[in-house]
Chains A and B, each alone.
Chain A
Amino acid sequence: MFKTQVMEINMGPQHPSTHGVLRLKLGLDGENVKSCYPIIGYLHRGVEKICENKAFFQGQVWTDRMDYCSAVSNNLGWAEALEKLFGIRVPRRARYLRTMLNELNRLNSHLVWLGTHAMDIGALSVFLYTWRDREKILDVFEAFCGSRLTTTAMRIGGLQEDVPEGFEKMVRDAFESVRIGIQEYETLLSENRIWLKRTVGIAKLSADDCLAYGVTGPILRAAGVAYDIRKAHPYAAYDEMKFEIPTRTEADTYARYLVRLEEMRQSIHIVEQCLEGLPEGPVMAKIPKTLKSEVGEVYHPTEAPKGEIGFYVVSEKGGVNPYRFHIRTPGFLNVQAIPLMLQDALVADVVTAVGTLDVVLGEIDR
């Protein structure tokens, strides 16, 4: 008498909980998600092609604008890739400062993630607290780099400027706030029954699936694989730092939340090590004014807050700009796993799955 059929619904590209312009084509049977198909590309600007047409040093400003929550990490990956290509050795002080900025950026990115993810699921007050703490970290960026979001922090061969006056006090003040903040987020969320109902066992992605899809970052670590490029292929000054890689085995949204919270604590730990052991010396290596490349190709992966970000650069002889410039962004591969995470899920869990991946469409479409 009654006939049921799968209804196709578009979630996004303008849906507030998709964090940008991600479009999900959902096949719904009532409340149950039968199929899910992510469609990306609404924010495509052709960053890779633009970088090929600009001088080597100019490409940095587009890496700022890819993942706007973690501009420094993108800058760092970009700078290290080009330093590898040109064979430049960065001074030790610059490497320490880079590590420090990168970890501050990881804190910033995770705070943004926690606030927006919790708000998607329904815990609005966490958002206000994370934004309070994030503000202090952004002030540190403004003092060091001159800008809050589009930092343009690195230069090929080091950093543009040394630390500003009163920098250490500023960072320590920010940490005082963030430390109390992390405790508060735990009070608000970790045992909260609504939070547990919405996250435990939701959007599972097993370690095998992660490896098959190339998913990296906290999602991989929450599935039990202790893979972190900071330890596996140390760059900047990470080989001199003491820190742990937090892992969980549950592979669900709650595990990812715990992994990221622990990562924030580790980041504070790393920055404090950098502040204590900051070596003296220059922050910029001696490099020629115009960089001319030899024939070569280089791939350099670094650990951005969202996963592995890698820069692949091909150069030709005497070139002032890269011949080919490819960016492997973490979000691009992570977002492909959404259909797997949403097998036999409810519509409400779609929001959780998108939120837990920490998608920023600027880097996915780039």
Chain B
Amino acid sequence: MKKFLKTLIPTELAKGLLLTGKWFCQVMFSPNRGKSKLHIVDEYPEVPAKVQPRFRGRLQLLKDAQDEIICVCCMACIKACPTNAISLVAGKKEGRKTRIPESYDFELERCIFCGFCVESCTFNAIALNHQFELAVYNREDMAIGLGGVFQSIDKPSPVGKFSYSGKE
């Protein structure tokens, strides 16, 4: 008899419905619900997304206080890169003891954001910045470099509007 009543009255289904209903009402009728703790979804395109400090985004060549590229072309990043995304040509500049990259090409198509290049760099000359909106309109723009035909390594992507450019 008890078993028959149990099959007739779906109490456990009601419990589940109660749970989902509770969450729905809590979020729906909480005042100022966009800022409530229960509201777990980010309003991403309207509100800029935040990433953690260690986030690995796009590769960037860093500059020192005199606005000069720190890189001395030791080629460590090229050796460390698992997907051969980086290539550079070393050059010289007047009044600088160390070498300076003539061109530093970085293929965004191939990069897998592992961060091995940054770890291998003993001069802290490169960093993976916090930029994550990396879409571009043309495939050619995926090649990133110091200038010329390439998309500039310092500027954010032409499509990205919200992510953070520059280190930290």
Which residues in B have their C-beta under 8 angstroms from that of A229? none
Indicate if B116 sits at the interface (CB-CB under 8 A): yes
Indicate if A187 sits at the interface (CB-CB under 8 A): yes
Is the CB–CB distance between A193 and B54 below 8 Å?
Answer: no
Q: Which of A135-166 contact B (CB under 8 A)?
A: 135, 139, 142-147, 150, 152, 160-161, 164
Is the CB–CB distance between A192 and B40 below 8 Å?
Answer: no
Q: Mark A26-54, 1 if CB is under 8 A from B, else 0.
A: 00000000000000000000000000001
Indicate if A244 sits at the interface (CB-CB under 8 A): no
SS of B interface (majority): loop
Is the CB–CB distance between A187 and B82 below 8 Å?
Answer: no
Is the CB–CB distance between A146 and B54 below 8 Å?
Answer: yes
Is the CB–CB distance between A191 and B12 below 8 Å?
Answer: yes
Chain A residue with the shortest CB-CB distance to B128? A146
SS of A interface (majority): helix
Is the CB–CB distance between B54 and A144 below 8 Å?
Answer: yes
Q: Mark A65-104, 1 if CB is under 8 A from B, else 0.
A: 0000000000000000000000000000000000000000
Chain A residue with the shortest CB-CB distance to B22? A184
Indicate if A125 sits at the interface (CB-CB under 8 A): yes
Which residues in B have their C-beta under 8 angstroms from that of A152? 114-116
Which residues in A have their C-beta under 8 angstroms from that of B55? 142, 146-147
Q: Mark B12-29, 1 if CB is under 8 A from A, else 0.
A: 110110011000000000
Is the CB–CB distance between A192 and B56 below 8 Å?
Answer: no
Q: How large is the interface on B (under 10, 10 to 19, 20 to 34, 35 or more residues)?
A: 20 to 34
Which residues in A have their C-beta under 8 angstroms from that of B148? none
Q: Which of A174-191 contact B (CB under 8 A)?
A: 184, 187-188, 191
Chain A residue with the shortest CB-CB distance to B6? A193
Chain A residue with the shortest CB-CB distance to B19? A187
A146-B115 CB under 8 A given contacts A184-B19, A193-B10: yes
Is the CB–CB distance between B112 and A150 below 8 Å?
Answer: yes
Indicate if A233 sits at the interface (CB-CB under 8 A): no
State in angstroms the CA–CA spacing of A144 and B80 once bound together.
21
What is the CB-to-nearest-CB distance from A192 to chain B, in angstroms, rounded to a whole number? Answer: 6
Is the CB–CB distance between B40 and A187 below 8 Å?
Answer: no
The 10 closest A-B pairs by CB, nearest first: A191-B12, A146-B54, A58-B82, A146-B56, A143-B52, A142-B52, A188-B16, A61-B114, A152-B114, A61-B82
What are 10 of the A-B contact pairs (CB < 8 Å)?
A: A61-B112, A62-B82, A142-B54, A143-B53, A144-B54, A145-B54, A150-B112, A150-B114, A187-B16, A191-B15
A-binding residues in B (CB < 8 A): 7, 10, 12-13, 15-16, 19-20, 40, 51-56, 80, 82, 112-116, 119, 128
B-binding residues in A (CB < 8 A): 54, 57-58, 60-62, 64, 125, 132, 135, 139, 142-147, 150, 152, 160-161, 164, 184, 187-188, 191-194
